[in-house]
Amino acid sequence: MPFPTTRLRRLRVTPGLRRMVRETVLTPDRFIYPLFIVHGEGIRRPIASMPGICQLSVDQAVVEAEQAVSLGIPAVLLFGVPAVKDAVGSENFSDDGIVQQAIRALKATHPDLVVIADLCLCEYTDHGHCGIIREGRVDNDATLEILGRAAVTYARAGADLVAPSGMMDGMVAAIRAALDGAGFIETGILSYAVKYASAFYGPFREAAQGAPKFGDRKTHQMDPANAREALRELALDIEEGADIVMVKPALAYLDIVRRVREACELPVAAYNVSGEYAMLKAAAANGWVDEHAAVLELLTGIARAGADLIVTYHALDAARWI
Ligand code: PBG
């Protein structure tokens, strides 16, 4: 029945009506809060390009996790800044590594918190690349062995999920085999299945001190122009045993989030990355957007596109504002 009989404004007249017909409901259950862990004690070192986010020593990560838990956020994602970087990223697969220590401390204080360990070499290697370098290039297959070893140390420390983010071919299968071989059959894999070579990781590279010393990541991360290829990455990771798949970044890739959601039955995560966070914080600090409304609108958009889970630095604020 066309206008004037049909009036879509009828269901927008009052807050109650709008609430009843709202299609996407944001809840803290969807949020994963990233933490940057550094060596030392009592450290909360602000990251200039990510206002409100700090590098945290293990004791302070426990305090930060307490906040997340009290706001109803189920999960944290851990990144480590090692004491020493070397060619193979040794601290990444040491049982005493900074992330392994943080996992144990978080599990001891918050047994119900879901602890996810990011799994990549770039923060741990002196060259800042996501794998072992041979003849100036990232050697895919040599890197798989290291990823498997690191995954086992995270599982042994008590991580619920490991999250490989290096876009190596075969990484999920190698990690699954390593975990199963060591008896960690219940440790899951949240794969960064579809990760683009994005300009929006800039602030993260300050936060995690993992910028490449030469070259870039374009031989392993995806070309932002490609969408069909995302479905190939997705299919492989599912076949190799991923439990949750992630699309990253989120905002310039909402079409990809939607396609991935429609192409599989796994839980889908989206990563609202550091550059997306930094842009919003900068605009809000200038009074150019209303931070509260803009953050909730962006997170709702990511959820509406099809993300079941959202990794976001806004998690604490958004949980308070919902
Ligand atoms: C790699 C990794 C990166 C991010 C998460 N894991 C950086 C990169 O690929 O260069 C970026 C996250 C963000 O920007 O918030 N370990």
* Chain segment 276-321, per-residue pLDDT in tens: 999 999 999 999 999 999 999 999 999 999 999 999 999 999 999 9
Q: Looking at this protein, which amino acid is placed at residue 160? A: D
Catalytic residues: 195, 248
What percent of the chain has a predicted confidence (pLDDT) above 70?
A: 100
d(Cα 286, Cα 276) in Å, to the nearest integer?
16
**Mutation to probe ligand 1, out of 120, 276, 281, 302 (largest number of atoms < 8 A from CB):** 120
| Distant-in-sequence, close-in-space partners of 192: CB < 8 Å, separation ≥ 6 | 163, 164, 165, 166, 167, 246, 248, 271
d(Cα 232, Cα 236) in Å, to the nearest integer?
6
Average pLDDT over residues 32-59: 98
Model pLDDT, residue 281 = 98
Check whether 1 has a pLDDT greater than 90: no
d(Cα 142, Cα 310) in Å, to the nearest integer?
31
Check whether 210 has a pLDDT greater than 90: no
**Pairing of β 132-134 and β 137-139:** antiparallel
Atom from ligand 1 closest to the CA of residue 120? 16
Check whether 230 has a pLDDT greater than 90: yes
Average pLDDT over residues 20-47: 98
State if residue 143 touches ligand 1 by the CB under 6 angstroms criterion.
no
What is the enclosing helix (H) or strand (E) of 132?
strand 132-134
Check whether 209 has a pLDDT greater than 90: no
Model pLDDT, residue 310 = 99
pLDDT bracket for residue 111 (50, 70, 90)? very high
**Mutation to probe ligand 1, out of 32, 55, 165 (largest number of atoms < 8 A from CB):** 165
State if residue 124 touches ligand 1 by the CB under 6 angstroms criterion.
no
State if residue 247 touches ligand 1 by the CB under 6 angstroms criterion.
no
Check whether 21 has a pLDDT greater than 90: yes
d(Cα 82, Cα 210) in Å, to the nearest integer?
10
The whole-chain average pLDDT of the chain stands at 97
Which pair of structure tokens corresponds to residue 206? 């300050």
Check whether 109 has a pLDDT greater than 90: yes
Average pLDDT over residues 223-250: 98
d(Cα 315, Cα 34) in Å, to the nearest integer?
9
**Considering only CA atoms, which residue is closest to atom 8 of ligand 1?**
201
- Calculate how far, in angstroms, residue 183's C-alpha sits from the geometric centre of ligand 1: 29
Average pLDDT over residues 134-142: 95
**Cβ distance 268 to 260 under 8 Å?**
yes
Check whether 70 has a pLDDT greater than 90: yes
d(Cα 87, Cα 271) in Å, to the nearest integer?
28
pLDDT bracket for residue 128 (50, 70, 90)? very high
Helices (H), the chain: 15-20, 58-70, 98-109, 140-157, 171-181, 202-207, 228-240, 254-263, 274-285, 291-305, 315-321
Atom from ligand 1 closest to the CA of residue 34? 15
pTM of the full structure: 0.97
Check whether 165 has a pLDDT greater than 90: yes
Model pLDDT, residue 108 = 98
